[in-house]
Structure 1
């Protein structure tokens, strides 16, 4: 008995060695810093392909509805409506349903099967003496079959399907994050256009006052007609900006309506551009927050799915063991088939192993190994792209704040310059060109200020998207 068990174990090990050869994966070249160069000094450490290694530092808890941090209810309502009705989000959710069904199909391959057949047959044949005769056969059978997963091939196939489903769920999360960022960015750009339109209208009023003063100065003989015409041209140039901005606002509203899966229409407003401000960044924000990024999670699940699929492919060379059982009834007469049939049954087991397949399975295994290596490289590149996006967003926030500080000083100087130039012109000590130049300088400073604030808010949205969501300090 012991000799039989030892022989069986040896045979099992020998058969297990018949699996296709798997090439080892490449060494990881991915290094993730603990912090960010835009915030503080960093150290680096290699990571595995299972996800970004968590580091110490300030605890940053995940915040799903990061758009609420702007404190604008109109923005929050818009993002909620977009997430509910956006076509890309709904398509991603349908893909999750598709891969959930694929997982169910893969799991079903590991379960027993039961089938039933009913086969009435009427046959005309020749007897031994050459006389034809007719026979009837009525048969009904139940067949049960079960494949014993000795080597884990079916389990690996189920694991690959489960990881693919997890990847699609992460992909749906990536779609939601991307669409929410588009909606938030579009809304902030809309508020920037609203502020630009308000500035344009205020500039038109200012140019109207200058035009009237220039006309009055010309009519009283203090200045020439040239200065009056220059004031008129500046007024018309300022008025020209209003319809252009109104068109851009309408286009932006239509784009947001399309993003929300609705017909073109107006978009509700909340806070003004000056009232909106980007949330502060916790000091020592660790790189481990990148684990929340759905595209990184998707890439990690793709790696796991490729590894499981590789195992399942390599195990095709191993023998399969199948148990079968059949039970049924037969009779040559339909009445006896219903009331007094003959009961038959059959139980068996089969062991099937490929002897020669021309290298097909090894080639498929090599292809699966190449797919695994591709998924590993794709994962590393996804993490690197995430690091770059976060660094760029942090740098943009820092530099844009510095620009805004410089712009505030520039605008204060331009406003004082305009006040002095206007007084000199009204008192006849200077020409209109001085006031016109001062007006242009102040207007350019105001336009730059609006652009910088819009870009600063946009950079904060980019940071939210790059980090996979919001954060709050513990």
Structure 2
């Protein structure tokens, strides 16, 4: 029969228990929730996939080099290793909390030799040989110890969710860094190819100036275009160098080169997954972390509140003792005692109530933090969907701009070749087409990176353990 069942059978005991329960500290009610979950997202994306987000979503890009980088980062990244070590720490703390709910048994032996005075003033020496064991157990009548264990468990779950959030962030950062690197590689290739054309144009303008076919202005303008393009090459190489070093650090290595896979032109963004705002609350590890933190603080609040209630502890001590070593080994005297202790605070100067108020304020802070995490998740997802749509629209305009620039260059080249226009017109058309080509590469990179960010804000296929 449990103690609760016993109370139900004994009304007087039940009345005493209820009276004691009323001695617990007063807890202020939590604030009302202000989170409103939207029914749908503001932005609709064409071609959304009904398939759920895969946990290894980065494989959707079809680049083995990207997959290898992320796998290495998930194994060796320093921040992630720290987060996983914290998970192990808080897993061990659950055992510490659970141990308080179990009996505590100890054994000690204390041989003692004493020289003291007798009643007549004559000193004498005595030996005492003893060994004993102690067993104690606190009856968790009010669930305070169980609440502390629940708090430790929820804190561990929060750290596990935090570790998963760090892993998701690392994977997304590596993917974005790699895609930006491939974008810089493509820009460098375009710039180096354009530089060769600029060099040929500058040589042609010099020859025409030497024979008097064109002015010195046209030659200098062509030379300036060559120098402007040449200036961009070391700038792009510096950015590539720094991006490689950043990726190497993220994967847990030293600064160094990074292996490449698919070209930027061959990389395609994965389909945009479907989903409702209400489903996002179950998909994101950072929201789960905030929820587990709230569970933990509520359990701590219960344990703090119940400190004013009486505690019940059972203690059993048993052992053997004798004044002579031979008798201690062969015929010791057995000693024991049993104790049932009830302890309750009478006056603590308001300490427990103040502690309870402090933990209640922490609970309110945790509620606000949870609501902020939910709103941030909604905002990030809306921004991610909006970025995909607007970047696609921008890419369409860029395609039209490039087609116009290419046609303009064709006409300017024909006019210059037939003597109807100066070389400056063709140089200007070349500059416009180069700008459109750079814009196309940058947009392609931004769309790929936006897809990574969208998968991140959607939780990256995370599920609760």
Tell me if TM exceeds 0.5: yes
Q: TM-score, normalised by structure 1?
A: 0.92
Aligned to 2:382: 391
Aligned to 1:294: 285
Please give the per-residue CA displacement for 1:300-319, whole angstroms capped at 9, x wherever unaligned: 00000000000000011111
Shifted more, 311-320 versus 284-293: the winner is 284-293
Distance 1:417 1:460 in 2: 33
Matched, 1:265 2:265: no
Distance 2:312 2:250 in 1: 54
Aligned to 1:252: 243
Tell me the CA shift for residue 90 of structure 1.
0.3
Tell me the CA shift for residue 14 of structure 1.
1.1
> SS of the counterpart of 1:26?
coil
Structure 1's 433 and 4: CA in aligned 2 closer, same or farther, altered over 3 A?
A: closer
Matched, 1:107 2:98: yes
Distance 1:15 1:161 in 2: 26
Shifted more, 307-316 versus 271-280: the winner is 271-280
Match of 1:340 among 331, 336, 341: 331
Match of 1:187 among 178, 197, 203: 178
> SS of the counterpart of 1:122?
strand
Q: How does 1:230-379 map to 2 (within 5 A)?
A: 230-283=221-274, 285=276, 287-379=278-370
Tell me the CA shift for residue 153 of structure 1.
0.3
Aligned to 1:223: 214
Tell me the CA shift for residue 201 of structure 1.
0.9
Tell me the CA shift for residue 355 of structure 1.
0.8
Aligned to 1:12: 17
Distance 1:4 1:302 in 2: 38
Structure 1's 383 and 214: CA in aligned 2 closer, same or farther, altered over 3 A?
A: same
Aligned to 1:24: 29
CA contact (8 A) 1:290 1:468 kept: no
CA contact (8 A) 1:323 1:350 kept: yes
Distance 2:57 2:208 in 1: 56
Aligned to 1:405: 396
Tell me the CA shift for residue 274 of structure 1.
1.6
Structure 1's 423 and 59: CA in aligned 2 closer, same or farther, altered over 3 A?
A: closer
Q: How does 1:140-155 map to 2 (within 5 A)?
A: 140-155=131-146
The root-mean-square deviation of aligned C-alpha atoms, in Å, is: 1.9
Tell me the CA shift for residue 467 of structure 1.
0.9
Aligned to 1:76: 67
CA contact (8 A) 1:39 1:283 kept: no
> SS of the counterpart of 1:406?
helix
Structure 1's 300 and 2: CA in aligned 2 closer, same or farther, altered over 3 A?
A: closer
Matched, 1:462 2:453: yes
Match of 1:200 among 191, 199, 220: 191
Distance 1:464 1:20 in 2: 46
CA contact (8 A) 1:290 1:467 kept: no
CA contact (8 A) 1:86 1:259 kept: yes
Aligned to 1:210: 201
> SS of the counterpart of 2:258?
coil
> SS of the counterpart of 1:358?
coil
> SS of the counterpart of 1:357?
coil
Aligned to 1:33: 38
Where structure 2 has 5 or more consecutive residues not aligned to the other structure, the ranges are: 1-5
Aligned to 2:3: none
Tell me the CA shift for residue 283 of structure 1.
4.9
Tell me the CA shift for residue 60 of structure 1.
4.9
Aligned to 1:53: none
Where structure 1 has 5 or more consecutive residues not aligned to the other structure, the ranges are: 41-56
Please give the per-residue CA displacement for 1:284-330, whole angstroms capped at 9, x wherever unaligned: 55540342211101000000000000000001111111111111001
Distance 1:8 1:168 in 2: 42
Q: TM-score, normalised by structure 2?
A: 0.94
Shifted more, 199-208 versus 86-95: the winner is 199-208
CA contact (8 A) 2:53 2:455 kept: no
Aligned to 1:437: 428
Shifted more, 345-354 versus 411-420: the winner is 345-354
> SS of the counterpart of 2:110?
strand
Structure 1's 290 and 464: CA in aligned 2 closer, same or farther, altered over 3 A?
A: farther
Shifted more, 265-274 versus 312-321: the winner is 265-274
Please give the per-residue CA displacement for 1:40-62, whole angstroms capped at 9, x wherever unaligned: 8xxxxxxxxxxxxxxxx986534
Tell me the CA shift for residue 225 of structure 1.
1.9
Aligned to 1:420: 411
Structure 1's 420 and 107: CA in aligned 2 closer, same or farther, altered over 3 A?
A: same
Q: How does 1:157-176 map to 2 (within 5 A)?
A: 157-176=148-167
Please give the per-residue CA displacement for 1:176-210, whole angstroms capped at 9, x wherever unaligned: 01111110000000001001101101111221222
